[in-house]
Structure 1
Amino acid sequence: MSEDTQSLRGAGFGPVLAAQRAYADRTRRSRFGLMVPEAFVRGIRDLGYRSNGDAIAELIDNALQAYADRVDVLFGYEGTASNKKPVQLAVVDNGHGMEPDMIRMAVMWGGTHRENDRLGLGRYGYGLPCSSVSLGRRFTVISQVPGGGFHSVTLDLDAITAGEYTDASGDIIVPEPRLGELPAFVKRHIAATYPDGFRSGTIILIEKLDRLEWLTTQGLRENLCRQFGVTYHKLRGEAALYVDGAYVEPIDPLFLTPDFHLGALDEDRAQPFDPVRIEVRDPETDAYLGAITLRYAWLPPSFGSIDKSRDAVGLNANARFSILKDFHGLIFSRNGRLIDVQTRTPWTSFINNDRYIKVEVEFSATLDEAFGVTTSKQQVTVSPFIWDCLREAGLPKAIEQLRNKVKDAKMARRLEALSPPPGERRLSERAMSIASAMGDGGNGNPQWDLALRVSPYRVGFEHLAGQPFFRVDRQQGSRALHLNTAHRFYEEIYDGEVSTPELRSALEILLFSLGDVMLEGADEAEERNKAQLISWSRRLDLALGMLSDHLSLGDAQDVGPLAWQDDPA
C-alpha cells in the first residue's frame, strides 16, 4: 500500500477529486434516495460492530485512503456540564477532502467512487454510514477540498422516523449539502493543530451517542489507543493517530518490532520463527491470485508478568498482558490492517495456555473472496481452499513447534523456581535427614533446627518419557529422589495449578519415604519393587489422564471473544 500511496501523493489530489466528480456525474441522473425505507437504517444499526473501536476504525480507514498524514479522534462535551463521558465524537483528518456532491453520496450506503477497489482498505462504501449510526443516532459529514470551503450533510435517524427526509412520493431523500459550520470543540482543535490553516480534509461528527461501551472518557481513550495501536501498527508510516489528544503508540501483537510500544518493556523478548510467504494461484488455471505472509513468534512464559518468578495474574500482570489476551489466536491482517482474530482452525483450537504463541496471517485484498471478508472488515470466513494453502505451507506444524517452545520454557522456568538458592537445601531434604537420624537413635527432640542440618538426601529432576514418575538411588553417600517431569504426576500434581511449596515438600517426603523402603532389603526385593513402581506409574498416568479430561476444562476451552467485545459495564 505504501508504494501506491506515494505515487498518488506525488500526482497530487487532482486525480482523486476528478474520480469523485466523474462518479457524481454518473449518479446525478438517479434520485438521491437511500434506496429502502427507514427500516433499512434501523436494521443496519442493529447489526452493529464488535466494539466502538471497530466502528471508529472504519472512519480511520477512510482517512488513510484520503492520504491524510494525521487523524484525530476527538471527544466533545458541548451541551453538558460534565466531561466524564463524551456526548459528541468526531474523527478529523487532513486528507484530500470531498467536493459537495461527493459528501452527499458518501452519506449513502454504497456511495463511493472506490467501489471494489483492492489497493486500499475499503471496497463497498458502507463503512462511513454503518459505523456512524452504530455509535449515535445522528452524524454529519463536513469536508473541504483545497481552495474550497466547508460543506456538510447531516443524517438524523430520529428525523427519518419523523418523516423529515421523506419526499412527496414517499422516498427518503438525502439532504443537499450546505455550507458547513464546525462545532466549537472541532474548531478549537483545528486552530491549535493547524496554525497555518486547514488546507483540506474531512470531519465525521457523530452525535446523540447512545452506544458507547465505556463508561468514562479515560476508559474509552485508553482502550481505543490500545486497539488502534495494534490494528494500524503496520500503517503508521502513513499517518499519525491521536485519540483525545493522546498519541497512539504502534503495538506489534507479535512483539517482534522492538522500537514499537511494549516491545522492550523489560528484558523478556519475543522469539521469532522465519516468516513464510505463500503465492496463491488458481488451482485450475494457475493464475496468480494474491499473496499470504505468515509471521510467527513465541513468548517467554514470564512475558506478561511484572514479577518474573510468578504468573501474570491480577496485579502481577504487566501492560503486555492485555495484548496477549485481546489478540489471542490466529491474527488476520488485510493490506496491512488487522481485521480479525480467530481461535479455531480445522486442525486445532487455540486455548488459554496458548497466549504465549503468536501467528499472523497477512493477505492481500485480491484474496477477499477466498477469505470471506465482510463489508465491515471485522471478520474473515476462511475458505477450505485457503485452509489447504495454509496447511501445505506448514502452519499446523509451526503451531505445534511454537507450543513446544513455550512448554520447554515453562518447564525450565519451573525447575529454576523449584531449585533452592545456592548453598541451601530443600525443606524436604532437611526433614528426611533429621527423620532418618532420629530413627537411627537420635535424641527424639522434635524441635530440630532444619536449617542447620547437612542433608544426605537430594532432590533432582529428569525428563524421561515412558518411565516411572519417580525413582530413588544412592549417590555419594546420599539418597537421591529423581522426579520425572515427563510424567503426568509432575505436571498435574507436583507442579499443577493448585500446587503449593508446602504440598511439594510433603510429596517429596512421601516419595523419599517410599524410596527408602524400596532400597532396603535384598537385591531380589529391590528388583521386585522397581517392577511394581513401573506398574504404579502406568496406572497413575492413565488415571490422571482420565481425570484431566473431566477437570482440566479451563485450559482446554477456547479463549472466547476478544476482550474489547466484552461489556465493560
Structure 2
Amino acid sequence: MATQVDNGPDIRPRLVNPANFLVATRDTGYKTTGLAIAELIDNSLQAGARHVDVEVATGRGPDRQIEIMVIDDGDGMDATSLAQALTFGGSSRFNDRSSLGRYGMGLPNGALSRSRRVEVYTWRRGTGVLWSRLDIDELVIARDAVLPPVELIDRPGFVPATDSGTVVRLARCDRVEYKRCSALVRRLKDDLGRIYRHFLTNGVSLQVNGQLVVANDPLCLAPGSKITGARRFGDDLLYEIPVGSAVGTVSVAFSELPIDHWHALSTEEKRTMGVTAGSPVSVVRAGREIDRGWFFMGGKRRENYDDWWRCEISFDPILDELFGITHAKQAISPRPELLELVSPDLETIARALNGRVRNRFLLVKATEPLGAAERQAARADVSLPSLPRGRRPIPDELKSVVGGLAQHDSPYQIVAAELPTTSAYEVVVRDKKIVLLLNTKHPWYRDLYGPLAMSESGRDHDLARQVALTILASARAEAALRRDTERGHAQRLRQATADVLATFMNA
C-alpha cells in the first residue's frame, strides 16, 4: 500500500515551469527560418487565405534586430480563438487530420524559435482589430503562466484593409541565421517557393517584401515553376493503406532531368539550379513539403548519378504515425512497416534511373566528336551543291525523335539516339538542314563508333570524328538526290547495308 509523503503545507509541484518552458521550447530545432515561418503560413492557408505577404525589416530597437510579419486575408479570429492561438496546444483543430495543422503548436513554437516576442492582430468583417501577444521576457520577469488579455485596438497602419485577416508579427528576432534582411528575403523566397509549390501552382499568392514567390518544383515538371525541362519517368505509384476504418494514400512520382541540355552547365550553375548538392527525394504532406533527402531507397547508396533524377512522395495526414511526423512538421522518421511496403519498389526504380543516367552520360560523352564533325562539315558546305528545294515529310516513326530536338544554326545536326528502326542511321531534312540520326542500338555504333568516341585517347576521338564525317557524307549525298524514286532506292540500299553490316558484326 502506498503512503503519501508529506511535502509540507499543501505543496504541489506545477507540471510546467512557464519561464523555463518558454526558454527551453525555443530549442525545438527548426532547421531554417523558412521552416519556422512556414508554421505561420500553414495557419494562414488553413484559415482560407489566398494572399499571404511576408514582410522582413530591420527593427527600430537599439540592437536593430530583424522583425518579420506574416499578413494574410484569411477568415480572422474571434477573441477566444486568438487567446487559444498563442497557447501551446490551444487549437480548436487539435489532432485534425484534414489539413496542414494538427497539434496547435505551430504559431507559438515557430514564432518563439526565432523571436522573443510575437504579436497577433486579427479582424473580421464588421469588427475592430483584436490584439494579443506572447513575450518571453515579460513572462520570465513576472514568472507567471497567464497570457495578457486580448484587447480591441485601433487598426495599425500595417494591417491591410481587407474584410478579414490576421497579422503575426515577430519582434526581437535574435535567432535568424541571417543578419541582413536582403539575404533572409532571398532564402525565404527559395524555401517557401519549394515548400508551398503545390499551393502556388493552384493560385495562392505568396510574397516576400512585395516580391512574388515563384513555385520551385524540385521535379522540374510543373508549368510555371522556377525551373522546368525534366521528363516524367513512368506512371505514378499509388499505395492505399488502411488506418482503422479509414484509408490513407501514398503517391510517388519520378522525373529525369535533361542531361543533354544541362550537363555542360558550370558547377556553379548546376548548384544554383539545385541539380548538384541537392536532395533527390521530396516528401509532401497535405500538399506541403515537410522533408527532403534520401528516403525509401532500401540498400541503394546515393551516387553522383542520382543528382539527375527526382522523386516526390505525397501522403495523407492520416498516415502521420507511419511517417513519424512530429508537431514541428519538418522531418519524417518512417516506421519499419512503411519501409517494407514502399522501399522495394522505390529502390528498384532508383537503380533503373541511376543506370539510365549513367548510360546517358556515356552517350553524351560519345557525342562530343559529333559536334566537331558538324563544325568541320559546316565549313565545307559552301563548296557543295545546294540541296534540292521542296518540303520533305518526316517519317512517322521518327517524328517523336526529331520533334524533341532543339533548333540548330548549323546546316548539319548529328544526334545519337535509340531509334525505332533497324537502320545504322537515318537521314532527315528539316528546314533545309540535314539531321543525321545515329542509331545507338546498331552494332556499327555499339562496336565501332561508340568505343572510339568514349575512349580517353585523343587519337581515338579524332578517328570517331572522321567516322562520323564518313556517315555524314553519305547522308548528304542521299539528301541531295532530287527525285523521289532515287531517294527511295538510296533508303532501301542504306537499310540493306545496315542489315548486312549487323549480320557481319554480330557473327
TM-score normalised according to structure 1 size: 0.62
Partner-residue secondary structure (3-state), 1:46: coil
Tell whether the 8 Å contact from 1:299 to 1:406 is kept in structure 2 after alignment. Answer: no
C-alpha separation in 2, matches of 1:101 and 1:326: 46
Within the candidate set 299, 305, 309, 1:357 is matched to 309
**TM superposition shift of 1:506:** 7.5
State yes or no: 1:79 paired with 2:32.
Answer: no
Q: Identify which of 63, 68, 93 aligns with 2:49.
A: 68
Could you say what secondary structure the match of 1:229 adopts? Answer: helix
User: Does 2:145 correspond to 1:147?
Assistant: no
Deviations 1:156-184 (A, max 9, x none): 11222222xx4xxxx42111111245654
**How far did 1:505 drift?**
2.4
1:112 Cα shift?
A: 0.3
Look up the SS of the partner of 1:259 in the other structure: coil
Work out the CA distance in 1 between the residues paired with 2:77 and 2:373. Answer: 71
Structure 2 residue aligned with 1:341: 292
Residue 398 (structure 1) aligns with: 349
- In the alignment, is the contact (CA less than 8 A) between 1:34 and 1:173 conserved in 2? no
**Are residue 174 (structure 1) and residue 120 (structure 2) matched?**
no
> Closer, same or farther in 2 for the Cα pair 1:483/1:214, shift >3 Å?
same
Per-residue deviation, 1:326: 6.6
Q: Measure, in 2, the Cα distance between the counterparts of 1:102 and 1:34.
A: 24
Letter of the 2:256 counterpart? W
- Which residues of 2 match residues 540-559 of structure 1 at below 5 A? none
Distance 2:374 2:170 in 1: 67
Q: Give the aligned partner of residue 313 of structure 1.
A: 267
Superposition deviation, residue 482 in structure 1: 4.2
Q: Which moved more, 1:153-162 or 1:72-81?
A: 72-81
How far off is 1:463 after superposition?
Answer: 9.7
TM-score by length of 2: 0.69
Structure 2 unmatched runs, 5+ = 1-13, 377-437, 463-507
Deviation of the 1:229 alpha carbon: 1.1
Q: SS where residue 26 of structure 2 aligns?
A: helix
Query: In the TM superposition, what is the alpha-carbon distance from 1:419 to its structure 2 partner?
Result: 4.2
1:497-531 CA-to-partner distances (Å, cap 9, x unmatched) read xxxxxxx428979xxxxxxxxxxxxxxxxxxxxxx
Taking the TM superposition and a 5 Å limit, the aligned residue runs for 1:97-176 are 97-163=76-142, 166=143, 171-176=144-149
Match among 208, 212, 216 for residue 172 of structure 2? 208
Task: Report if the CA contact (8 A) 1:331-1:361 is conserved.
Answer: yes
**What is the SS of the residue equivalent to 2:88?**
coil
> Quick one: which of 197, 206, 209 aligns to 1:244?
209
Query: 2-side partners of 1:396 and 1:35: how far apart?
Result: 45
More deviation, 325-334/225-234: 325-334
| Separation (CA, whole Å) in 2 of partners of 1:180 and 1:405 | 63
- SS of residue paired to 2:239: strand
The alignment yields a C-alpha RMSD, in angstroms, of: 3.3
Corresponding residue number in structure 2 for 1:294: 252
Which whole-Å deviations, capped at 9, do the CAs of 1:238-262 have from their partners, x for residues lacking one? Answer: 6211111011111221111233332
Residue 346 of structure 1, CA deviation:
3.0
Q: Secondary structure at the match of 1:53?
A: helix
Match of 1:14 in 2: none
Provide the C-alpha distance between the structure 2 equivalents of 1:183 and 1:272, rounded to a whole number of angstroms.
51
How far is 1:215 from its partner? 3.4
SS for the counterpart of 1:56 is: helix
In structure 2, the CA distance between the partners of 1:423 and 1:207, relative to structure 1 (3 Å rule), is closer
Mapped to 2, the partners of 1:119 and 1:54 lie a distance apart of: 21
Give how far 1:103 is off: 1.1
The 3-state SS of whatever aligns with 2:118 is: strand
- Partner amino acid for 2:185? R
- Contact 1:142–1:202, Cα closer than 8 Å, also in 2: yes
Deviation at 1:57, TM superposition (A): 0.3
Mapped partners of 1:183, 1:161: distance in 2: 28
Identify if the C-alpha distance between structure 1 residues 182 and 73 changes in structure 2 by more than 3 Å, giving closer, same or farther: farther
Pair 482,107 (structure 1): closer, same or farther in 2 beyond 3 Å: closer
What SS does structure 1 have at the residue aligned with 2:372?
Answer: coil
Q: Answer whether contact 2:121 2:129 (CA < 8 A) is retained.
A: yes
Residues 388, 40 of structure 1: alpha-carbon distance in 2 compared, 3 angstrom cutoff: same
Query: 8 Å contact 2:59–2:171 — kept in the other structure?
Result: no
- Return the offset for 1:120: 0.7
Q: Which residue of 2 aligns with 1:374?
A: 326
Does the Cα contact within 8 Å between 1:301 and 1:410 map onto a contact in 2? yes
Amino acid at match of 2:286: N
Confirm or deny: 8 A CA contact 2:65 2:172 kept in the other structure. no
> Distance between the aligned counterparts of 2:302 and 2:154, measured in 1?
50
Is 2:382 aligned against 1:421?
Answer: no
How many angstroms apart in 1 are the aligned matches of 2:208 and 2:148? 30
- Is residue 66 of structure 2 the alignment partner of residue 90 of structure 1? no
Tell me the amino acid that sits aligned with residue 296 of structure 1.
F
Counterpart in the other structure of 2:33: 52
Partner residue of 1:407? 358
Task: Report the identity percentage.
Answer: 27
